[in-house]
Structure 1
Amino acid sequence: MPRLMAVSFERYGRLYYLDPGEQTFRVGDRVLVPTDSGPEVAECVWAPEWVDGDGVEAFGDLPACAGPATDADLARDAEHRRRRAEARLVVRRLIKTHGLAMKIVGVDYLDPATSPEELVVFYFTAPQRVDFRVLVVELARSLDSRIDLRQVGSRDAARLSGGIGNCGRDLCCATFLKDFEPVSLRMAKAQDLPPNPMKISGACGRLMCCLKYEHPLYTEFAREVPAVGSAVEVDGEPGVVVAHQVPADAVLVRMKDSGAVSQCSRASVCGSRQTYEERPEPKPRRRERHRANPSA
């Protein structure tokens, strides 16, 4: 049974899972995480725990924790944060000076001790292509570093910036979501959500990624229960399905005799599904065409 722990580089940021080995950490401890640019300081947000072997397969091959952070590591991390904050202020001032239509959403700093040379990477969004050649020259002169500007999309911008979603919790892309799966408007219609972009769009302006989470549940429910407007029998009394309640695993049925609307479980209405499915569907009414009489 393996052990694993979770760390985060930013408060309320994305979680990264590590193999603690034989080491023991507590929540709040600063540890070293191996990255492409060298070990970085992160905060332990989930103490090492034993995890069932079947469940750990979802995490894949976990990198090993490089141990606790020393005072020198904490000082280096504080210097990196200071350089990133300074670079963000400088680039915003220069963008405003040159009137460029771009927005900085993230800054990354690579220490020359862990990389071939000092490098500051800026992530930005822009509605169209931006000529930032003059901006790069002035940034390199002001920060005395090599500059790299990278344009990202709206979803990646939301991941880098973070924020609070419509549900009141931190954005999924900024915490645990790794890959962006395609989300369509058909998923929102299947969940009976209003086609209002303001209500079904996330912080990135695209359809919310969480529409993908419950879509299989709604698809399975719609495949097993009668559709809205179908005739069913509940306890021998005929009725018509008027609505679906997927979270409650039930449907609303309007009884024909009494006219009352009652909440029925899936099992009670699925038992009569074969009855109404065998009934022939009514043929569509043929539209009559009226031709004008020339002699009239």
Structure 2
Amino acid sequence: MPVDKNDLRLRPGRVTGPRARASTGGGSMMEGQDSGPEMSCGGCSVGSSRQVAVVGVKFHNLAKLEHFNSEGFELELGDQVVVESEDGERFGVVSEATSRIRGGCGVGCMKRVRRRATPLDSESFQRNGVKEKEALAYCKERVQQRGLPMRLVTADQALDGRKVTFYFTSEGRVDFRELVRDLAQRFHTRIEMRQIGVRDESGVKGGYGPCGRNLCCSSFLKEFAPVSIRMAKEQNLSLNPSKISGMCGRLMCCLRYEHSGKEAPATSEPVSA
């Protein structure tokens, strides 16, 4: 099967989120709050003052929670759904109960829940899971053979099977056009490579922080604000790297949460992080 040149996409550069395109930067995400998530965007002319029902949905190989308009559905935790995405329909599981948007942009900017998953959707999802593992293994093999300076994180296939997206980390820009040709010729589908940062990688994989809660980057953070060692010093926290570093190896994002910009009162011993 000939390779469509439109499918050979080079998207160099750093992105700010695991679902963001390297060429466009991070997309709008919902931030979970006690009173319901709020959306922020450039504004739209559709339903700017209307409140809508939203649910948090997770996908099997992407730990980050994403929010979708669920108007017209009564969904509960654990329900399987098919949702809209920029890559086509996706199969996910409701992982956050229905809430209402307050002060958000409403219907105009948010992807929707298309339907409850059907048995046919479930079968497609199971088949895709097998194909994703095969695609990831083959891609790792080709990366090694071509000596590309990149590390693959995961692969994600659209529900209809028409597109496979590979997530990877790298210290710099990578010319992966030949790799994309290899993948397109092998799997006869659209291929996209998305470069993510090391902090984004933790958000994709998920896990638990030292607090015992899900990682902030995989649950509610929509962007990464700068964190400095000075924030730990001013809170009189231990500067032991093992105590103030997250799964990504960088300073924990939560060091910002209680940082007021003022130095903490001096004590004889640092506070354990």
Q: 1:121 to 1:40 in 2, by over 3 A?
A: closer
Change (3 A) 1:122 1:77: same
Alignment match, 2:43 = none
Residue 138 of structure 2 corresponds to residue 94 of structure 1: no
Q: Quickly say closer, same or farther: Cα 1:211–1:120, change in 2 above 3 A.
A: same
The alpha-carbon deviation at position 91 of structure 1 amounts to: 0.9
Cα deviation, 1:257-289, whole Å, max 9, x if unaligned, reads xxxxxxxxxxxxxxxxxxxxxxxxxxxxxxxxx
State the shift of 1:179 in Å: 1.1
Instruction: Check 1:154–1:242 CA distance in 2 against 1; reply closer, same or farther (3 A cut).
Output: closer
Asked whether the 8 Å contact 2:76–2:94 carries over to 1, the reply is yes
Change over 3 Å in CA distance of 1:73–1:164 after alignment to 2: same
Instruction: Report deviation, 1:7.
Output: 2.3
Q: Percent identity over the alignment?
A: 37
Partner of 2:168: 124
Show the 5 A alignment for 1:190-205.
190-205=234-249
Normalising by the residue count of structure 1, what TM-score does the alignment of the two structures yield?
0.62
* Aligned-pair CA distance for 1:103: 0.9
* Structure 1 pair 9–136 and aligned structure 2 pair: CA distance change class (3 A): closer
Partner SS, residue 173 of structure 1 = helix
- Higher Rg of the two aligned structures: 1
SS of structure 2 residue aligned to 1:42: strand
Structure-2 separation of matches of 1:244 and 1:104: 39
CA pair 38-139 structure 1, distance change in 2 beyond 3 A: closer
* SS of residue matched to 1:215: coil
In 2, the alpha carbon distance for the partners of 1:191 and 1:72 equals: 54
Equivalent residue for 1:9? 59
- Counterpart of 2:229 in structure 1 is 185
Paired with 1:188 and 1:164, the residues of 2 have a C-alpha distance of: 21
Which ranges of structure 2 fall in alignment gaps of 5 or more residues? Answer: 1-50
Name the residue aligned to 1:139: 183
Deviation at 1:15, TM superposition (A): 2.5
Equivalent residue pairs, number: 220
- Computed over aligned residues only, the root mean square deviation of the Cα atoms, in angstroms, reads 3.3
Deviation at 1:2, TM superposition (A): 6.0
Q: Report the 3-state secondary structure (helix = DSSP H, G, I; strand = E; otherwise coil) of the residue aligned with 2:117.
A: coil
Shift of 1:63: 4.6
1:288 paired residue number: none
Structure with higher RCO (Cα < 8 A, 6+ apart): 2
Q: Which residue of 1 aligns with 2:102?
A: 57
Name the amino acid aligned to 1:13: A
Q: Does 1:21 align with 2:75?
A: no
Normalized against structure 2, the TM-score is what?
0.66
1:69 to 2:123 alignment: no
Structure 1: give runs of 5+ residues left out of the alignment: 229-240, 248-296
Mapped to 1, the partners of 2:62 and 2:149 lie a distance apart of 30
The aligned residue for residue 268 of structure 1 is none
3-state SS of 1:66 partner? strand
Specify whether residues 119 and 63 from structure 1 end up closer, same or farther in structure 2 by C-alpha distance, changes over 3 A only: closer
**Structure 1: which amino acid aligns with 2:252?**
M
